[in-house]
Amino acid sequence: MDGLSLGFLGIFLIAAFAGGMVSGLAGFAMGLVVSGVWLHIITPVQTATLIVGYGLLTQSYGIWKVRHALEWRNVAPYIVGGAFGIPLGTMMLTYVDPAWLRTGVGVLLIAYSIWGLARPAFRPIKATRAADVAVGFVNGWLGGLTGLVGITVTIWCQLRGFTKDAQRAVFQPVTLATAVISLVTLGLAGAITLPTVELYVLGAPVLLAGLWSGFKLYGKLDDAAFRKVILLLLLASGVGLIVPKSMF
């Protein structure tokens, strides 16, 4: 890649490692970690494309690691709902200001996270398949409108009181399905360019190393500790959504 400096490459790869580690530890939030760095050194389109592309690796690996807890009948309602929600969210981009919606979601994430951290014990919610489909629809709609993929399902799995493996066995396949749809859309839009592919190839081994390290840490967490990690990452996500980009 012409003009690629060692400093640029080092920053890019450090972010890739950190994003992989967070994904291995929690199963999501890779995009939150890497975008804070990559948006300063590469274009937003490249950032989005790389996040989606690397999401195929992180989510596939994550699904394989928790395959013993995977039950497709539990995952299917969210994917079915999301298949209808994603197109609607994309269509609404011309009618709704995503910036305002991101701020609103950020406030809700902060409120939920603080509530969850302050109240470690709660009674799990019992829900029907129809409710799961509805959550999948909202998850897809929000993802199509703002790019916030998987957050709704992640919170729902916590409210359902799932174990840490059961949570990841739901929200990671849902996120993977969304990533596949998004990658196809980006490809049709011409976002997958040769420079982006080159960056992807360079960063993939480092990201996978981070992913492996994150799973090593994940193995040391019990369900209560995993819940706190998720809540802290959701809190960080909420802050990231409401803080103006100009402050970074």
Answer whether 143's CB lies under 8 Å from 31's CB.
no
Which pLDDT score is estimated for 1? 47
* Whole-angstrom distance, CA of residue 217 vs CA of residue 221: 7
Which pLDDT score is estimated for 3? 52
The pair of three-digit structure tokens given for residue 98, joined into one six-digit string: 């995503």
Prediction pTM value: 0.76
Per-residue pLDDT of the chain (248 residues; tens, 9 = 90+): 445 687 888 999 999 999 899 889 888 778 878 877 887 888 878 888 898 889 889 999 989 988 888 888 889 999 999 888 888 877 776 677 767 777 887 888 888 889 888 876 668 888 889 999 999 999 888 877 766 777 889 889 888 988 889 989 998 998 888 778 778 877 887 878 899 999 999 999 999 999 999 999 998 888 888 888 888 888 887 887 787 654 44
Which pLDDT score is estimated for 93? 63
* Whole-angstrom distance, CA of residue 33 vs CA of residue 175: 17
* Whole-angstrom distance, CA of residue 187 vs CA of residue 189: 5
